[in-house]
Amino acid sequence: MKKIVISIWALFGFISSKAQENTNTAPSKKLTFDEANLVSSYYHQDGNNSAVTGGIGSEKLTDLSNTIDVTMVKYDSKQRKNKFNLSVGIDHYTSASSDMIDLKANSSASHADTRIYPSLQWSRENESKGSTIFGGISFSTEFDYQSYGANIGFAQKTANRMGEFTAKFQTYFDQVKLVTPIELRTGNSTGREHENYGTSGRNTFALSLAYSQIINQNFQIEFLTDAVQQTGFLSLPFHRVYFTDGSVHQETLPDKRFKLPLGVRANYFLGDRFIFRTYYRYYTDSWGVRSNTFNIETPVKISPFVSISPFYRYYSQKGTKYFAPYEQHTAFDDYYTSNYDLSTFNSNFYGAGIRLSPKNGLFGIERLNMLEIRYGHYTKSVGMNSDIISLNLRFK
């Protein structure tokens, strides 16, 4: 694993030295603050199809999320623009369904958890050549899951600067703690909450390609695709599955999954007040999941500094062949899950946001140059619904 990461970085360094040659030299400039974003969200969901209890039971969950990211810029002696972005996120969630791993409601270790996820990203743009190279690392940790990520990529603008091609390679090396439902703990297990669980690996490799094109003064489009290969322990150890005979089993899914999503975005500025942001995605994978996503958001500029953005998203999914509801699987099935996130359903997500960006800053703070609040309501046809409210403050 480490060898792969080191090889990728060595290759990246080589490409960087070749692609960014520039004969113009000038004194490099100091590292300067560009912007900082603070995003806080409160999320609440409820439903009655928890995968922890085999497709029945409460899905009640709350999540308080805070992320801060800071971007710094430095021009080097060859006048290349170096951007450094440091981001740190902290989520604290309480989950009624995770609490049922131990079948002791509101008391077990899995009732609540905190997730911390820092990341570091760097990019170098050669404005004269229209090329950019970038790379980054990320980490995420919570009680039963650790994820190490790395990415590298490059972008190249077309000769007339109207189009841009971007390629990115991402990897995630994850460790899943094997926390099984309490009644399925066997062998050396003591059947207690805080025992030494084993772990299992999960690897993700993704190649992302994108091409954006300016069509005219008001219109631009972008095509996106990812080819994602996942290997390792891809089910979750504490998801129960009940067979037709009433017996309880641990969720079992294949150890390989290939995903292929294809997306297109089109943004259009109509007149001086209306913007149409649209997005469509088709998705297919080797587990038999197929989906279509359509999203539209229409920011309306009330004034140059205030806009209101209603949005709507429709999502339709054909579920995996490995899914069946509570007590529908049999011993003849090789793979089985009762996780409704992998079932056939459709969902609607709608809401609105307001964005303020006055010239002289907000609340008398000159550096606070943007405030945005956004609310959304989400409903799934399988009986789950959720609400989310987010706040974004930007300092320049």
Partner 1 sequence: MKNNIKKIGTGLVAFIIMILIHSCTALKEYEKSKLNDAEMALGNRTIEKTELSFQSYREGSSGANSGKVGGGCGCN
Instruction: Output 75 or 372, the one with its CB closest to partner 1.
Output: 372
| CA 48/CA 56 separation, integer angstroms | 6
Q: Provide the 8-state DSSP code for 314.
A: E
Instruction: Output 76 or 263, the one with its CB closest to partner 1.
Output: 263
Cα dihedral 18, 20, 24, 30 in deg (nearest 10): -130
In the bound complex, what is the minimum distance in angstroms from residue 232's beta carbon to partner 1?
Answer: 11
Q: Which stretch binds partner 1 (CB under 8 A): 20-28, 73-81, 128-136, 225-233?
A: 225-233
Q: Using CB under 8 A, pick the residue from 10, 215, 302, 331 that binds partner 1.
A: 215
Please provide the DSSP assignment of 119-133 as one string: EEEEEEEETTTTEEE
DSSP element (H, E) containing 84: strand 81-95
In the bound complex, what is the minimum distance in angstroms from residue 77's beta carbon to partner 1?
Answer: 26
Q: 169 Cβ partners below 8 Å, 6+ apart?
A: 8, 151, 152, 153, 205, 206, 207, 208
Residues of span 310-329 touching partner 1 by CB under 8 A? 315, 317, 319-320
Structure tokens at 395: 């300092």
> For residues 362 and 371, is the Cβ–Cβ distance under 8 A?
yes
Instruction: Output 245 or 272, the one with its CB closest to partner 1.
Output: 272
Which amino acid is residue 172, in one-letter code?
Y
Which amino acid is residue 382, in one-letter code?
V
For the chain, the residue count is: 396
In the bound complex, what is the minimum distance in angstroms from residue 343's beta carbon to partner 1?
Answer: 8
Residues of span 282-311 touching partner 1 by CB under 8 A? 283, 285, 287, 289, 291, 293, 299, 307, 309
Instruction: Output 28 or 395, the one with its CB closest to partner 1.
Output: 395
Q: Using CB under 8 A, pick the residue from 88, 182, 275, 356 that binds partner 1.
A: 275
Q: Using CB under 8 A, pick the residue from 220, 278, 286, 379 that binds partner 1.
A: 220
Q: Using CB under 8 A, pick the residue from 9, 122, 269, 335 that binds partner 1.
A: 269
Q: Using CB under 8 A, pick the residue from 103, 116, 262, 365 that binds partner 1.
A: 262
With contacts defined by CB under 8 A, how many residues of the chain interact with partner 1?
97
279 lines the binding site for partner 1 (CB under 8 A): yes
Instruction: Output 20 or 369, the one with its CB closest to partner 1.
Output: 369
Q: Using CB under 8 A, pick the residue from 138, 154, 240, 253 that binds partner 1.
A: 138
Q: Using CB under 8 A, pick the residue from 45, 121, 156, 189 that binds partner 1.
A: 45
In the bound complex, what is the minimum distance in angstroms from residue 114's beta carbon to partner 1?
Answer: 12
Binding mask 3-22 for partner 1 (x = CB under 8 A): --------------------
Helix (H), strand (E), coil (C) string for 170-224 = EEEEEEEECCCCHHHCCCCCCCCCCCCCCEEEEEEEEEEEEEEEEEECCEEEEEE
In the bound complex, what is the minimum distance in angstroms from residue 277's beta carbon to partner 1?
Answer: 7
What is the separation of C-alpha 259 from the centre of its chain, rounded to a whole number of angstroms? 15
Q: Provide the 8-state DSSP code for 340.
A: G
Q: Which of 93, 87, 112 is nearest to 41 (CA)?
A: 93
Residues of span 361-390 touching partner 1 by CB under 8 A? 370, 372, 374, 376, 378, 380, 384, 386, 388, 390
Q: Using CB under 8 A, pick the residue from 149, 254, 358, 361 that binds partner 1.
A: 149
> For residues 154 and 166, is the Cβ–Cβ distance under 8 A?
yes
Structure tokens at 200: 């299992």
> For residues 198 and 188, is the Cβ–Cβ distance under 8 A?
no
Q: Which of 381, 367, 391 is nearest to 34 (CA)?
A: 367
Residues of span 70-129 touching partner 1 by CB under 8 A? 93, 95, 97-98, 113, 115, 117
Q: Using CB under 8 A, pick the residue from 204, 241, 249, 338 that binds partner 1.
A: 204
Residues of span 174-203 touching partner 1 by CB under 8 A? 174, 176
